[in-house]
Amino acid sequence: MPQDILRGLYNPGMTTQPKKRRRTERPLIHHRLIEQRLTEQRNAASRNLDGMTAVEIVRLMNREDRKVAVGVGREIPAIARAVDAIVSGMRKGGRLIYVGAGSSGRMGVLDAAECPPTFGTSPKLVQALIAGGRRAITRAVEGAEDSARNGERDLRAKKLTRNDVVVGIAASGTTPYVLGALKFAQKRCATTVAVTSNLRMPVGRLAKIVIAPEVGPEVLTGSTRLKAGTSQKMVLNMLSTAVLARLGHVYENLMIDMMLTNEKLSERALRILAEASGKRVSSAEHALRQAGHDMRMALVMLKRGIGAAEAAKRLQAVRGDLRKALEA
C-alpha cells in the first residue's frame, strides 16, 4: 500500500500506550459481556482443529465462510441506510470516518486507502482512525484498544462536524477505543454507524445505524480476523463503492475517476475509454493525452466528437456531472 495514500488516513500521533490493566482488575460486567459474544463461543465443527489434515481444515473454513455472505445479505437494509446517510452528509461537505482497533481498524484503513486511487477522491473524504496509530497497521500495539479516551481524542483531532459520518468497526461490539469515538461523535451530532458481529453489545446502543452480520463462532475460537473480518470487508466494500457511485465517481460500471499511477492503470484507462465510447484504443489514447490524462474530459471528447477546451467547458457548466455533460 503506497505510503502517500496512507498519509492522512490514520492517526500517527498516537504513540503512547495506555497503562496495562491486570485481568483481575476488569469489572465483572466485562466478563459477562465476553460470555455473551457469539464470536467468543466455540465452533463445534472445529473442536478437532489441531488434529485435522490440511485439506480438512481448509474445507471446513471454506464451508464456514459461506455463512458470511448470507449474514451480510440480511443486513442490506441497514447498509443501504448507511449509504444514504453518508451520501447526504458528503453532499453537504461531510466526510466518512472509520474508527477501529486491531483487525477491525485495519479494515477501515484499507478501505479508506483504496478510495483515492479507485475513485479519484481526496484522501480527506474517506479517512480511518486505528487504535495505536501508524504502528498498529502492521503489528499489534499492546493495550491500544482499551482506551475510550484515546478514541475520543483522536476523533476530536479530526474537527468533526454534524455532516460527517463516523463508522465504528468492532467485531466484539465492546472495544473501548471505538465506544469512546462513537460517544464523542454523538455529542457533535455526527451520524454514527456500527459494524459489528455481536448485535446486543454496547456499540449497537451507541450507533444510529447498526450493521451486524451474524456469521457464527469462528473456526479458531475468538479469532475475529476470520469470518467477522471477512464480513467487515464486505460491508465496507459496499459502503464506499455505493456511496461514491451515487456521488458520480463511476460511469456505468467503469472507474472513470481512477488515478493513473502506473502502466497497468494507464492501460486500463484506455480500455475503459474505448469501451465506454465505442472508439478505437488509439483514439482513446489521443483523447486522453489531449485531456491531460483526465478521463472524464477524454470521454466527453470521444463521445461528443469535440476538443479538450469544449469538453472542459461542458463539464464546468454542469459541475463535473459526466452524464449531464454527455447529454448537453
Given a contact cutoff of 8 angstroms between Cβ atoms, the answer to whether 171 and 12 are in contact is: no
CB neighbour class for 143 (10 Å; exposed up to 12, middle 13-18, buried from 19): middle
Is residue 284 within 8 A of residue 277, CB to CB? The reply is yes
Q: Which three cell numbers stand for residue 277?
A: 465510447
Cell numbers 493513473 correspond to 260
Catalytic residue among 64, 75, 145, 218: 145
Neighbour count for residue 253 (Cβ, 10 Å): 6
Q: Which of 40, 114, 214, 285 is catalytic?
A: 114
Q: Which residues of 24-42 are buried (b: 16+ CB within 10 A; e: fewer)?
A: eeeeeeeeebeeebbbbee
Residue whose grid cell is 485435522: 52
User: Three cell numbers at 216?
Assistant: 457464527
114 is catalytic: yes
Q: Backbone phi, then psi, for 168, in 5-degree steps?
A: -85, 125
Place of cell 498516537: 14
Alpha carbon of 75 to those of 21, 60, 81, 87, 193: distances in Å?
Answer: 36, 24, 10, 18, 13
Q: How far is CA 126 from CA 94, 102, 165, 321, in A?
A: 10, 19, 10, 21
Nearest partner of 38 among 167, 143, 173, judged by Cα? 173
Residues 6 or more apart whose CB falls under 8 angstroms from that of 186 comprise 192, 206
Q: Which residues pair with 126 in a beta bridge?
A: 96
Residue 181 CA to residue 264 CA, distance in Å, equals 39
Instruction: Quickly tell me which residue has 494507464 as its cell.
Output: 266
C-alpha cell at 9: 488516513
Known catalytic residues are: 114, 145
